[in-house]
Structure 1
């Protein structure tokens, strides 16, 4: 979690954005009501850098760029930002100067996803399996998209919330049965000896699973995009696609359960990203929850922790807006007590 400066009190509107490896989503937020409008999505590949995309948003939406807060899919702990799954890189202060911004906040995308959890209502989260959440307990959030993002959210003694960004998606993937060891061997040859969770639990990860499972069954298949694999699995017309999605959910359950144990996330484990919501019809009957709870001596703890799929639109932008809102509230409180 990092900002380029102390955020001043500002009136009117700000621009918020959720920058992923594939798309950059921009919106305007009302700083009194915190309602989003002027939402526009730009393919990252269409722009040389973030500055060009921000200028395009300003021109196409006729929205001034003064106060900007963005969530981005990479570590955001210094002035130098380098995206993990895209070529964009920039200086926070350099971008602020180049665009003449009055303030510019940069937040890791899963720190923003964690912040979004406090904005969700019951209709925007679908519970998977059992468990009961404790609202003030730590929460975990993960999301499969272009990559695999991970974050946590903790509640502070004063009632504020603090996101804990991380790079848990790049932890090692652990196979648990014969077929998974075969998948691991296939992928370890492809990725020079190391298989991270992201190589399995992401859009490209689903593509990897499709190829690895086809090889396991000695059935050559053409490379397919994740969108096509998902559609074939949902229709039931492709047995390898069905098995790939089933394997995806089994491994996702194991990974999510590991996150739950890591920080005792009795506040729940929340799943976002672009992949899972599209495959939701197959999740309930998958091994996801069984693998989530399959934690040996700590299965009782895992069983007590609930899981939710985030179905809200633009959760990342809402999260970075919530972070901005909390910063502004702190600033106002300091001014009142000064």
Structure 2
């Protein structure tokens, strides 16, 4: 077993959730303090994460963090880590020197969301449909936002073990007659329709354009907010169908991952979109698609599904890990840099 000094990062700890569109930060003074939150930072407003952290965080507090735990949207390989859906490249060795830090740990952003699935209480999530959490059972997090993140959370050896990956890029295919009419009009990537081609911001527009093309009507809406806004206002039938299909496709994929991880501890929807389309997820389509997994429909009926309603769930997960890292089996090899 690693010693306490090998596992714990020194306080104060700056924790950050770095997405494709926004970066969220908080400062954890010690293991008992509540995180001090900072304003959300649009990633496009700064040339680098070092500049963003210096100008927006370090210049605005007298507390000097000794270490940082950063959850980023992208694979972590080597000493230069590009974000998948943003222009920043994270260089931890340079950050140690530039920001006067002693210790930096970089993990996948959906590892942080998976940690949050173990850390959040009832007040920070809304259950959709039936099912009961089994306390030490595996969990899954799916996060439609700028992209589609997926992570598992497995309980073993008295620890929660986050399992990151690129699950948002699995194949998706048509199942219904309506799907068969829409599918030929969906925008593909090298001939593939992946989960992320449907279940993210641009996926909403992709579905909307395909619905309009299948019906031979003009696609008047060009951004996700316009589509969801028109759907809930009832002003555009194609937009209404788009949001319904989005909920259906999200239910299908969530059910697939529930089976993969045997997620009797629950499936958690994170990211910016599920909270915004909660009224659609409360309708039957999401759970019907989630449970429609013959011959295992009865199993899926027992698995609870939740929307994370905490505004900064990933930071909550990072804070839980920072306070008690031995409760979580977060891999550090190749992802931790010290001065």
TM-score normalised to the size of structure 2? 0.90
Measure how far apart 1:137 and its partner are.
0.5
Contact 1:7–1:103 (CA<8 Å) still a contact in 2?
Answer: no
Show the 5 A alignment for 1:20-31: 20-31=19-30
For residue 296 of structure 1, give the secondary structure of its aligned residue in structure 2.
Answer: coil
Measure how far apart 1:225 and its partner are.
1.5
For residue 162 of structure 2, give the secondary structure of its aligned residue in structure 1.
Answer: strand
Q: Summarize deviations over 1:181-203 as a string: whole Å, max 9, x none.
A: 33332224x53311110010011
Aligned to 2:198: 200
Contact 2:31–2:322 (CA<8 Å) still a contact in 1?
Answer: no
Measure how far apart 1:60 and its partner are.
3.4
Contact 1:38–1:61 (CA<8 Å) still a contact in 2?
Answer: no
Aligned to 1:83: 83
Picking from 276, 292, 312, the partner of 1:294 is 292
Q: Summarize deviations over 1:1-47 as a string: whole Å, max 9, x none.
A: xxxx9455534x22111111000111112323241223211111111
Q: Summarize deviations over 1:67-119 as a string: whole Å, max 9, x none.
A: 11111111225433121111212322232233221111111011000101222
For residue 163 of structure 1, give the secondary structure of its aligned residue in structure 2.
Answer: strand
Aligned to 1:116: 116
For residue 26 of structure 2, give the secondary structure of its aligned residue in structure 1.
Answer: strand
Structure 2 residue 15 is matched with structure 1 residue 16: yes
Picking from 267, 273, 276, the partner of 1:275 is 273
Aligned to 1:245: 243
Contact 2:25–2:39 (CA<8 Å) still a contact in 1?
Answer: yes
Contact 2:10–2:103 (CA<8 Å) still a contact in 1?
Answer: no
Show the 5 A alignment for 1:225-264: 225-264=223-262
- Report how many aligned residue pairs link the two structures: 323
Contact 1:76–1:108 (CA<8 Å) still a contact in 2?
Answer: yes
Measure how far apart 1:169 and its partner are.
0.3
- Name the stretch that deviates more: 173-182 or 19-28: 173-182
Distance 1:34 1:110 in 2: 24
Contact 1:128–1:309 (CA<8 Å) still a contact in 2?
Answer: yes
Distance 1:52 1:310 in 2: 30
Show the 5 A alignment for 1:39-58: 39-56=38-55, 57-58=57-58
Distance 2:8 2:70 in 1: 16
Aligned to 1:35: 34
For residue 104 of structure 1, give the secondary structure of its aligned residue in structure 2.
Answer: strand
For residue 210 of structure 1, give the secondary structure of its aligned residue in structure 2.
Answer: helix
Which consecutive unaligned segments of at least 5 residues does structure 1 have?
A: 331-338
Distance 1:127 1:109 in 2: 23
Aligned to 2:337: none
Aligned to 1:59: 59
Distance 1:153 1:80 in 2: 27
Aligned to 2:149: 149
Measure how far apart 1:141 and its partner are.
0.6
Distance 1:92 1:16 in 2: 14
Q: Summarize deviations over 1:245-268 as a string: whole Å, max 9, x none.
A: 000000000000000000101101
Contact 1:29–1:37 (CA<8 Å) still a contact in 2?
Answer: yes
